[in-house]
Amino acid sequence: MRGQFVAPSEPRGWARRIRELTGGSVGGSRKGIRFDAWRQVVVILATGVFMALAGPFGTDHGTLAVRLAYWLGLMSVGTVLANSITVLAVRIDLFERRPWLWAVVVGALISPPLTIVVWLVTGLVFALTLRADTLLGYAPPVIIISMAMMAITVLTQRTPAQTHARAADGAPAAFLARLPAKLRGAELWAVQAEDHYLRVHTSRGQDLILMRLADALGELDGLEGAQVHRSWWVARGAVVGAQRGNGRAELALKDGSSAPVSRTYARALRAAGWF
């Protein structure tokens, strides 16, 4: 049974800026990289417990309690380092719509300082002699675990691709030049993938364009919107309400059509006030 339409809310001013930088908005930044505290906690706990039980890399010598403290502590330190680097990357506009590149670069950057931390903590926890010549021996397992953790982060924190309006004097979105002549100058409301084509929903009607949605997302930058489903991009200003049916949210658009919201993106879109 479908619910009632609810007008979407829009974060404003300083509240919106805080959400963009800390992860409350879609992607947690304008670049599709976000922090989800609860998911990070779950990943740290699950991975830490698994490593403690498995006792890899010679850590099986300690008691279970010691191994739990050891692995959970190291996972937490690694997460703090990764988040710190991500904040810097967001501020200097790196890794736009390239989460896997972000994962590789961040994993590589956190590995050297984390190797030193692991070397020190392992020596203290397991009463080992801290010898400089053993430091490099910790690097390979640290790199492997760091890359694995970054991969898990990407897989568990998928976020919708976003596009953003530019200043009034900025160049228009490149995608608008692809609109058929009869739709030129219209307000673009949504782009829907249909096989090898895109159905464009505008204030002057609909038409089809031969193009992939993945390619269109890069050309839609300049318009405020987001990918709400694997086959839909929706302009923020085109949404007039939201409804829920069959356990899934849908966005009502100005032209009377409804865009489905993927469960993959629902949480981030809801946090950004789309519905």
pLDDT in tens, 139-154: 999 999 999 888 887 7
CB atoms within 10 A of CB 262: 17
Q: Give pLDDT tens digits for 64-85.
A: 999 999 999 999 999 888 888 8
pLDDT, position 159 = 67
Q: Return the HEC string of 143-154.
A: HHHHHHHHHHHH
Regarding whether 145 and 41 lie in a shared domain, the answer is yes
Query: What CATH number does the domain containing 250 carry?
Result: 2.40.50.1020
pLDDT at 253 over 90: yes
Domain count, the chain: 2
Per the domain annotation, does 20 fall within a domain? no
Regarding whether 143 and 65 lie in a shared domain, the answer is yes
Regarding whether 176 and 133 lie in a shared domain, the answer is no
Regarding whether 147 and 83 lie in a shared domain, the answer is yes
Regarding whether 148 and 52 lie in a shared domain, the answer is yes
Residue 196 in tokens:
């090898």
Regarding whether 171 and 144 lie in a shared domain, the answer is no
Strand pairing class (197-202; 188-194): antiparallel
pLDDT, position 5 = 37
pLDDT, position 18 = 29
Per the domain annotation, does 29 fall within a domain? no
Q: Give pLDDT tens digits for 89-117.
A: 655 555 555 677 878 888 899 999 999 99
Q: Give pLDDT tens digits for 48-63.
A: 899 999 888 878 888 9
pLDDT at 193 over 90: yes
- CA 110, 114, 119: angle at the middle one, nearest 5? 160
Residues 190, 253: contact at Cβ < 8 Å? yes
Q: What whole-number distance in Å separates Cα of residue 11 and Cα of residue 19? A: 8
- CA 147, 150, 153: angle at the middle one, nearest 5? 155
Locate tokens 């008691």: which residue?
Answer: 63
Regarding whether 139 and 41 lie in a shared domain, the answer is yes
Regarding whether 213 and 135 lie in a shared domain, the answer is no
Residue 226 in tokens:
């987001």
Per the domain annotation, does 19 fall within a domain? no
Per the domain annotation, does 95 fall within a domain? yes
Question: Residue 6: pLDDT band by 50, 70, 90 thresholds?
Answer: very low
Of 156, 180, 210, which residue sits at a domain end?
A: 156
Domain hosting 203: range is 163-271
Percent of the chain surpassing pLDDT 70: 79
Per the domain annotation, does 110 fall within a domain? yes
Per the domain annotation, does 252 fall within a domain? yes
Regarding whether 134 and 91 lie in a shared domain, the answer is yes
pLDDT at 46 over 60: yes
pLDDT, position 11 = 38
- Nearest CA to 274 among 237, 221, 246? 237
Beta strands in the chain (DSSP E): 162-163, 188-194, 197-202, 205-210, 225-229, 232-235, 239-245, 248-253, 258-260
Q: What whole-number distance in Å separates Cα of residue 205 and Cα of residue 200? A: 8
Q: Give pLDDT tens digits for 260-271.
A: 998 878 877 887
Regarding whether 218 and 137 lie in a shared domain, the answer is no
Q: Give pLDDT tens digits for 163-179.
A: 778 766 678 899 999 99
Per the domain annotation, does 133 fall within a domain? yes
Regarding whether 231 and 122 lie in a shared domain, the answer is no
DSSP 3-state helix, strand, coil percentages of the chain (rounded to 5)?
Answer: 50, 15, 30
Q: Give pLDDT tens digits for 7-36.
A: 344 433 323 332 333 333 333 333 444 456
Residue 14 in tokens:
């300083």
Question: Residue 4: pLDDT band by 50, 70, 90 thresholds?
Answer: very low
Q: Give pLDDT tens digits for 180-191.
A: 999 999 999 999
Task: Choose between 239 and 245: higher pLDDT.
Answer: 239
Regarding whether 43 and 110 lie in a shared domain, the answer is yes
Of 133, 156, 179, which residue sits at a domain end?
A: 156
Per the domain annotation, does 30 fall within a domain? no
pLDDT at 201 over 90: yes
Of 114, 135, 156, which residue sits at a domain end?
A: 156
Most confident of 121-130, 139-148, 150-159: 139-148
Average pLDDT over residues 223-231: 91
Beta strands in 68-129 (DSSP E): none
